[in-house]
Structure 1
């Protein structure tokens, strides 16, 4: 030790907070300062003469660095991990070390080791890495969960994502609908419902989505219920405890008894044991204070048990997905109300004049928008004439459907005065403007007069009517377009056309032809390229038209369409055959 210097140098080394040790060429301790002794958990004198691995278990790489420094004399630095024994037992540490070869009179006498413990820094780095991974996972989830506004699709996407990123199998289970609502139309799921907790009886849930890693796919039917199946979880199960507490429940290293208590159907128990189910995590599915069900994550085989970080991540993912699920339920509920309201309103109204045959269809929008204010009406007026109307109120949802009802009621009142159709639009525009509404509307009116064999057309910003001729071709009928209703501008024109029983008049809203990626000429071109059965019933003609323009029955916007045709004269009906060679053809024009 005399080569190390005088007492002043030793005093500095003893006082420094850095861990300092001097090793001989055989890597046995010659000197240990108090800081290094505290790190190792052994008194300084117990280090002297002992090898490094006997006192401070560096990793193999750390010991290799010391030999390299002794061999070539080049100082080195590095970060290392190790285990020390303290009064509290084994402790894991991270440190940054600097290693220097010591020489005296040209001889290698040892190596100096200077260590700074960096547990806090390493911990921060690990935490930052966990946060980075967590944010990356949430970012991926945002693009894969909630891509539609369909409730069951969102549940399936959540199960798929969890099984691919966090667990071996995931199941999303929701409270079933209130009694009786299972008979509601498919497009109108009931709002989320949470029955009172059944602490002493089974909990009833509906499987809404389930997915598993590839090697479990063949066993999925054996270990899980299918989507739509009703499940009953007994009292004391992890699912029941999660629902009662509203907090996640973790069960690691499940015993046979615990596993049998947690699964809803004992028929699946052998399959669970066969695939090696050992841990489950149940997370409440909650959004805006509304408990909708649970999400169950399962790990099998060699997968590790669930840790705290898994619980945190699962809560984040399920919480975000629950907001999307709640939005989908709210959308479905409002969409259903609007559809039912609109269909109920459109179903009202008297029959047309006996000299005219009419068929109508209404299709609600798909996922891209709520239903809107599309409407139609058939209003018999005096002198054996019938007013056909097709309109579209701006906007979507329940408010648009209610506005549609108001406008339709106004139209009936005005039409009762038996005015020319352009005068009807003038009066209707004035009434809507005076009502203070902020929802303009388009409207096309056709006054059909079978007795005289003519039709009068007028338009308030609406698409032109179409005519199906005797050979099945569809052509557009040009009608001067005035401003939409509710603008207060007025100024509508009327044109006259002849009618014939072998022609069909088609009135429609823009949802029938509109596509976002096309302009209006391309929209209408799609309509005129249709070939329809000219001698078929009006219902058949509408069916073929919708099949050609709205495949699958789902459009980007809601669709209303009407087909009208004069009835041919017969001795029993007394209605005359339409005059002239043109069918609903262009005739004289009158100003508004």
Structure 2
């Protein structure tokens, strides 16, 4: 190397012992310059900031102790070598150094990489500034000074990861558990986790009823396969995971069973054949995993209070990175929220099924009207987002050829509402046998309901049909008015004075008598038929009169047509509907 082109020799002076003490006078006179050089050397070599100097050919001419300590390479391992050749895994901004040599303008740049000294933050980051060095008007190289910002970068990365995790959990809250249907919730969970967190997501839940299959052996937990989601090209290879059975039995001691029993996740990145066999001992399944290119497995339980309702298996393959600890925490957060929704859906399904069966059992056996009155009825349970309610209808044959038509609706939903409905129905059947006028029937039913302690009120409409006189007498306890459909195509909403609901013990009811032509149809219904969001209930009721409903045809076809036109097969609340018509004598 040409000594004339090296940085000034004072920077590399071995000692300053001979330097005179520095005083204000000596500084002015220039005698203190050797001391200044020594102080500068102490600063450069004592700082914790890495300092490097390269010549105009980008060859190392100096590195300070801080840089040798950070990199693990001694100073003589650098001198005379090209910038970047000593640490190939550290980014070298050669283009920036060339620009600094050319125009003399200092430049800041971020340098990243891994050195021979391990770092707890992984890839290290330095914020560096490079200055051109000149001596006696000649450019001799570039000096770089850096400050390590790896910890700050790691902090910002951790903060960003936390934000992403929270965003993912928030998204899961809006996309998973949107209904009270178990299968839908499991499908939403699998569809959310793949591809947002894994290449493949499979959800299974504990089987509690072994319908159509023998129960598992004692101590074995049965897991029903609910949904597997993956990209089409991957799912093609995973098709065999479905197997011939819709469930898998989990004996004690297996990975998945231990995961559920302990409530802790299980993770295996870059899993070996042995580890994959622990997930599923069937060698055919291991072969399927490998064929699909899966390399990492994460199993997370679906926890609720005291037990796990199922598990989620997440798989990554191909170029996807292995699961990180942040991925595990995120998966646990999503699984915990989904488990609550699945448990609620299962509870709802059990109550909904029991309530619906009770309601259908009660409604399937109404008293038959007199032969002179034709009746058609329908009951539609609400959509999946609501529980079954307390809607009911009835027809009771009374002496003198008369028939009492009943339509009622208990406040609230669920099993208790259905039980209250059965009690109101029984009370009204008993009261109807007394032969009282319809307004007094409601008054007596109101008193009895209060006396037996029914804690739910109910609206009710009674219509007494008297074919012999061609009249109907109606009274309502806060229920919607009936509609009359006439043979000429016209329709009318009957104007009734509404009294208080049953169960309030405020009974004060009035009755209204009107004529009913032999071919006219009387419609009784609950509010689920006409209630619409954003629409006034009175306008919705008047809308019934504008429908094209044939009064002279089959009553069965009429009620089906009415439901089709108003509900499109979907209803937000239960619907009970009764259509009645006097039979012609020659019918």
Aligned with 1:84: secondary structure?
coil
1:378 aligns with 2:378: no
Return the offset for 1:58.
6.8
From 141, 145, 150, the equivalent of 1:114 is 145
Q: Find the counterpart in structure 2 of residue 210 from structure 1.
A: 228
Partner of 2:70: 39
Which of 246, 266, 272 is the equivalent residue of 1:249?
266
Alpha-carbon distance, 1:561 to partner: 1.3
- 1:238 is displaced (CA, Å) by 4.3
Q: How does 1:279-318 map to 2 (within 5 A)?
A: 279-318=296-335
TM-superposed deviation, 1:513: 2.3
Q: Aligned pair 1:16/2:47, yes or no?
A: yes
Aligned residues: 556
Q: In the alignment, does 2:38 pair up with 1:7? A: yes
- What is the alpha-carbon distance in structure 1 between the residues aligned to residue 520 and residue 420 of structure 2? 33
Q: Counterpart of 2:190?
A: 159
Pairing 1:246-285 to 2, within 5 Å after superposition: 246-255=263-272, 259=276, 262-263=279-280, 272-285=289-302
- CA distance in structure 2 between the aligned counterparts of 1:264 and 1:527, rounded to whole angstroms: 63
How far did 1:146 drift? 1.9
1: distance between equivalents of 2:251 and 2:517? 71
Q: Who is 2:419 aligned against? A: 402
How far apart, in 1, do the equivalents of 2:297 and 2:120 lie?
31
Partner of 1:189: none
Match of 2:440 in 1: 423
**Mapped pair 1:79 → 2:95:** no
Q: Which has the larger radius of gyration?
A: 2
Match of 2:573 in 1: 557
> Which residue in the other structure is 1:179 paired with?
210
| Secondary structure at the counterpart of residue 358 of structure 1 | strand
Which sits farther off after the overlay, 263-272 or 417-426? Answer: 263-272
User: Is 1:94 the equivalent of 2:111?
Assistant: no
| Residues 182, 383 of structure 1: alpha-carbon distance in 2 compared, 3 angstrom cutoff | farther
Cα RMSD, aligned residues only: 3.5
Q: What SS does the corresponding residue of 2:142 show, helix, strand or coil?
A: strand
* 1:103–1:158 CA distance, 2 compared to 1 (3 A): same
CA distance in 2, matches of 1:58, 1:276: 29
| Residue aligned with 1:405, SS | helix
How far is 1:153 from its partner? 1.0
Measured in 1, the distance between the counterparts of 2:119 and 2:545 equals: 85
Q: 1:547 aligns with which of 554, 557, 564?
A: 564
Cα distance per residue 1:209-263 (max 9 Å; x no partner): 122113335445345459x823346787643443344322233444556556645
- Does 2:356 align with 1:336? no
Gap runs ≥5 in structure 2: 1-7, 12-35
Q: 1:499 to 1:561 in 2, by over 3 A?
A: same
Indicate conservation of the 8 Å contact 1:171/1:295, yes or no.
yes
* CA shift digits 1:489-515 (9 cap, x unpaired): 554322112344433322111112222
Query: 2:201 aligned with 1:170, yes or no?
Result: yes
1:290-327 Cα shifts (integer Å, max 9, x gaps)? 31222122233333333333322222222222222222
Matched, 1:465 2:496: no
Look up the match of 2:24. none
1:463 is paired with a residue of what secondary structure?
coil
1:508 alignment partner in structure 2: 525
Q: Secondary structure at the match of 1:114?
A: strand
State the distance in 2 between where 1:67 and 1:429 align.
97
Which residue in the other structure is 2:158 paired with? 127
Cα 1:534–1:91 shift into 2, 3 Å: closer
What do the CA deviations read for 1:346-399 (whole angstroms, capped 9, x no partner)? 346644345434333222111232122212233344555332221112222223
